[in-house]
Structure 1
Amino acid sequence: MTRDLQVLGFGALAIDDIIYVDRPLHAGKGKVTNRTQDHGGNVATALVAVAKLGGRAGFIGWLSDQPLTDASGRELERHGVDISFAPRRSDARPIRSVITVGSDGDRFIAYDDDVPHGTSDVLADGTLAQAQVLLIDGYATHADAIVARARKLGLAVVADIEWTIGLETERLMGLSNHLVVPLGFAQAYTGESDATAILRRLWSDDRAAVVLTDGDRGAYVRQKDDVVLWHVPAYKVRAVDTTGAGDCFHGAYAFALTEGKPPVACAIYATAAAAISVTGRGGRMALPDHGTCLAWIAGENAPVPIPIAPAD
């Protein structure tokens, strides 16, 4: 089958009310300097990032069966994400979030996620087989059979997991051959504090890569058939808003996979994309294009990946 789309994904959709304040969040209180509303969601924003980078992205999670009032679906389409294969249901709606952003760009997200998650169990193999990569988040525990089918069809599964609900999450992580997770989650999940120990603990023979993202400290990578573990340092930027930076990282990583890059090179590309994304407000307003990412990577001050330990 011709692969019409490069990256498919399903996960939470969100509408974010964003409040900017004049002090860091740890100050406890501050004056509001700006208010805005934006669309978000881990996988949704990652797919928008793929489209902005020039990739062909498709959302296959639940959307409303009332297309004319489906603001989240229309917003994805506006950004170039294909929604024609998304299943529909009457109760589908986005998560509502309130995000407070401090003066240093750090943010706190409060959300209500009592909405339908996952995707349809009868999603056709032909739909999945269009793509090279499937992007998922922690809510994919509601549709892990689809993830398993994607793996059998040969898709790379890039997982953005930020919390665990027990055995269901463990199964989902086991199905994901590119586990790209925040270091903080990985520390809590494994009980380890050191990134190298976590990369070893999360490894399995079925993995292609484990990537630990650590904000302005960069990322840590283990990739298949490599004898060393890697640290990819972050770019030195002034963060305006870190909302969506992790989602941008996942989308850029997935897009780089479709170009045949190995995981460390994907992490380098994604690190540049995420750094650019935090220089503007909102989760999607500053998402970069492909040329800008390449220019940053080619810059004389671009971080260079560092081998940090043997893989075993």
Structure 2
Amino acid sequence: MSGPGPKALFVGALTRDTLYRVDDFSRGPGKYITEGTVSTASGMAANAATAAARLGGCPALWASVGGDALGPALIAEIAAEGVDCSPVRRVPGGRSASATIIVDGSGERWVLVDYDPVTQRAPEASELPDMSAYAAAMVDVRWPEAARIALTNARAAGLPAVLDADVAPKEILEDLSRHASHVVASAPGAAILTDGAAPEAAAARIAETFGCFACVTDGAAGSFFVEGPGLPTSHIPNPVVEVIDTNGAGDVFHGAFTQALAEGQGATDCIRFASAAAALKCTVLGGRLGAPNRKNTLKLMDETYHASR
């Protein structure tokens, strides 16, 4: 790919994340001294958009921030990554979202997120950016009313409409899945959506139930995907890397997957590309900060699967 890549719209969360590295956090209640701290603009959709930008795309972000001093700072930080943040709305009287994250010595994490219902209130359909400007759309579950609007309009325009089906109330996951062309779920999100099915079975059940492409990511076990109802389930293993921090890996996966879809890549290459990008993110502490560039992602993709683009 030469020159700027296709433009995708990312819809959902924009937060301030404060991450603490605590090697022995799993020992239980008590006092801990951190091994490192990172504070950064983040959020599922914002992280995915950043990944798409670093991978060669021209993404845009439709998110919601408060009228506080934090809002403009969050927007500026994501815009500096090459993400078009002009669609981000600012809500007077609202509070911008924030999260506290603890990462232990194995790279696993605990996440506490604070969303203000005033800031995250439902948008009007007229607030949706013009979908004719985009080659794909991806939404997360943190701003569900906006997600539904974006998915519905992307489908109407004949565009890939990707749902990041992470942990959320089942009714939200079901509602948004009905409007998506591609449901890409974490294993915990898929379990909620399918009443506890294991990842491989969950992928097939999601595809059958919602008539869509379905993929379930299962951490170190890789990804299971089904291209449509009644089709066989395929498995893509993850590249082997030294894991430092898994926080944000799923967001990077979704950003890379959506970027590859916008470029017109096939299902297998989309997931290999996303798997390589997410694996590289896990080698860096700091969520969004670990999103890799295209060169390194293609290199790891080729080394792992012997098939680069």
Same fold per superposition (TM over 0.5): yes
**Percent of pairs identical after alignment?**
27
RMSD of Structure 2 on Structure 1 (CA):
2.6
Distance (whole Å) between structure 1 residues aligned to residue 196 and residue 128 of structure 2? 38
- Aligned pair 1:213/2:217, yes or no? yes
| Deviating more after overlay: 201-210 vs 175-184 | 201-210
- Aligned pair 1:296/2:300, yes or no? yes
Distance (whole Å) between structure 2 residues aligned to residue 68 and residue 194 of structure 1? 40
Question: Aligned to 2:138, which of 135, 140, 151?
Answer: 135
- Aligned pair 1:270/2:274, yes or no? yes
Number of the residue aligned with 1:85? 87
CA contact (8 A) 2:208 2:230 kept: no
CA contact (8 A) 1:46 1:251 kept: yes
Matched residue type, 2:132: A
Distance (whole Å) between structure 1 residues aligned to residue 296 and residue 14 of structure 2? 27
Distance (whole Å) between structure 2 residues aligned to residue 88 and residue 39 of structure 1? 16
- Counting matched residue pairs gives 300
Q: 1:166 to 1:284 in 2, by over 3 A?
A: closer
- 1:225-275: per-residue Cα shift (whole Å, max 9, x none)? 884211111111111111100000000000100111122211110000000
Distance (whole Å) between structure 2 residues aligned to residue 204 and residue 230 of structure 1? 15
| TM-score, scaled relative to structure 1 | 0.87
| TM-score, scaled relative to structure 2 | 0.88
Distance (whole Å) between structure 1 residues aligned to residue 113 and residue 63 of structure 2? 19
Number of the residue aligned with 1:56? 58
Q: 1:180 to 1:204 in 2, by over 3 A?
A: same
Q: 1:225 to 1:160 in 2, by over 3 A?
A: closer
The equivalences for 1:217-256 within 5 A come to 217-224=221-228, 227-256=231-260
Matched residue type, 1:15: R
Note the C-alpha offset of 1:21: 1.2
Q: 1:51 to 1:91 in 2, by over 3 A?
A: farther
Q: 1:69 to 1:231 in 2, by over 3 A?
A: closer
Number of the residue aligned with 2:103? 101
Matched residue type, 1:252: A
Note the C-alpha offset of 1:27: 2.4
CA contact (8 A) 1:117 1:142 kept: no
Matched residue type, 2:191: Q
- 1:30-79: per-residue Cα shift (whole Å, max 9, x none)? 54211221111000000000001110000122245689961111111111
Matched residue type, 2:271: A
In the alignment, structure 1 segments of 5+ residues that lack a partner are: 306-312
Q: 1:124 to 1:155 in 2, by over 3 A?
A: farther
Matched residue type, 2:145: H
In the alignment, structure 2 segments of 5+ residues that lack a partner are: none
CA contact (8 A) 1:232 1:304 kept: no
